[in-house]
Amino acid sequence: MDKIAKAFENKKANIGYVVAGYPSLDYTKKFINSLDESCLDILELGIPYSDPLADGKVIFEASFSAVRSGVDTQKVFDMLKECKTNKCLVFLVYYNLIFAYGQEAFVKAAKEVGISGLIVPDLPLEESDELFDLCQKNGLSLIPLISVTSEHRLDRLLEKSSGFIYGVGSIGVTGGKQTPVERLKNMINDIKKKTNLPIAVGFGIRSNEDVKLTKSYADGAIIGTSIVKLTSELDVKSLLNEINKFFKD
C-alpha cells in the first residue's frame, strides 16, 4: 500500500502544509525529521515561488521570504536527501518551477527524495496530460484541486486524478473565508458518486473546531495558513505541539 492510501486507511487524515525553507531550510529539515512525533498523516511541502497565485498573504509572504533567501527547487531536493520520516510527503508546487526544472527530471527527482504526490494549483486540466503520464510512470500521484465552481468539469478532472482529491474549501486564496458547509457537503457527495479516492478539504480551516467539522463530512482536513504563521513564531518542538492541538480528536 502506498503512503497516501495508508494515510487514509481506516481513519480521517490529518494534513498540514509548510513552505520549504521558511523560516530556513534547516528549520524545515528539523521539522520533517521530527514528523513521526506528530499526528500528521500527510505533509504538503510547498516549494517557494515568487508569485504563488493560490495563496493568501501569510503563505505568499513566507514563500517570497524563502525565495529572497535563496531557496530554490534544487535546494529543496538537496534538503530532502537529508530528511527521514515515515510520514507521507507531497509537494505543492507551481507549474513554472516544474517546467523550469524539466518535467521528467522533476518527477524523477521528487520520487528519489521520497515524495508521494504532486499538487499543482496552476496547471490547467487541458495541459496536464504529459505530467500526469510522467507521474503514473514514476509512481507519483497527481492530486487535483476541485472546488464548488469546478463541478461541471468533474468527470474530466477525475480522469486525471490519483492519490486523493483536494477539496477547495473557499472561493479564493488560502486563508480566506470558507464556503458554506452545506455547499461543501454537496460537493463531497457529488464527487464520491464518481470516485473511490479519498477527499480532504483545505482552505479556510484554522482551528480544532474547524478540523472536527471538516472530518464530519470529508475524509481528511488540511491546515496550511495557521501552521505557516506559527513557523515564524515557534521552535520545531513547540510547532509540533500546536499542530497536535489543531488535530486533536
Q: Which residues are catalytic?
A: 44, 55
| Torsion 201-8-113-141 (CA) sign | negative
What is the rounded distance in angstroms from the CA atom of residue 16 to the CA atom of residue 133?
27
**Strand order across the 42-46 sheet:** 141-143, 115-119, 88-92, 42-46, 13-19, 220-223, 199-202, 165-168, 145-146
Neighbours of 171 (CB within 10 A): 15
Task: For residues 90 and 92, give the distance between their C-alpha atoms in angstroms, rounded to a whole number.
Answer: 7
Q: Which three cell numbers stand for residue 39?
A: 499526528
* Cell, residue 220: 481528511
Would you say 221 and 204 are in contact if contact means Cβ atoms under 8 Å apart?
Answer: no
DSSP conformation letters of 152-164: GGHHHHHHT--S-
